[in-house]
Amino acid sequence: MSTNPTSYRVRPATTRDIPGIMSLMQPFVERRILLGKERVVFYEAVQEFVVAENAAGHLVGAGALHVMWEDLGEIRTLAVDETLRGAGVGHLIMSALEERALALGLSRLFCLTFETAFFSRHGYSAIEESIVDADVYAELVRSPDEGVAEFLDLARVKPNTLGNTRMLKRLA
């Protein structure tokens, strides 16, 4: 696609963005690429999100960074308007989220995705093994967050993760 990625701006999400973020996610939820979430969950996590907008100020993409542990975060709920696939919007969102991760002191980022080619291009590799030690696992298993349960590969979330690939990136 010939669209110039510099014609998009990435910024922190606000509560006014939640309906637009949900609209961006809906086609992916319907195809079971992303998990559906209740509106309240988006509002509770608004500070985790960045959004991309075009020159006219319309939302064209969004993604979130969820801190899981002292050095570990998860890239989650990343979606771009399907008409802009390949335009660089996803790359801009990923870059913004990775900058946030570094600023927070994170050194590893996890994702659970069907979009393995996209994440591979951004330095992620598929993982099979647990990437936290037993003490951290024991702490994380107490989290009520479904994404943490998916990261830990707990049996109760298996139906949500079927077909997804667990991937990890070590930040520089």
Angle at 45 between CA 170 and CA 83, to 5 degrees: 75
Question: Which pLDDT band holds residue 157 (cuts at 50, 70, 90)?
Answer: low
Nearest-angstrom CA–CA distance, 31 and 29: 5
Provide the whole-model pTM.
0.84
In angstroms, what CA-CA distances link 49 with 13, 46, 70, 78, 97?
5, 5, 19, 9, 8
Identify the burial level of 67 via C-beta atoms within 10 angstroms of its C-beta, where 0-12 means exposed, 13-18 middle and 19 or more buried.
middle
Q: Name all domains of the chain by residue range, CATH numbers in brackets.
A: 9-170 (3.40.630.30)
* Residue range 4-37, pLDDT digits in tens: 666 999 999 999 999 999 999 999 999 888 888 8
Q: Provide the terminal-to-terminal Cα distance of the chain, rounded to the nearest Å.
A: 30
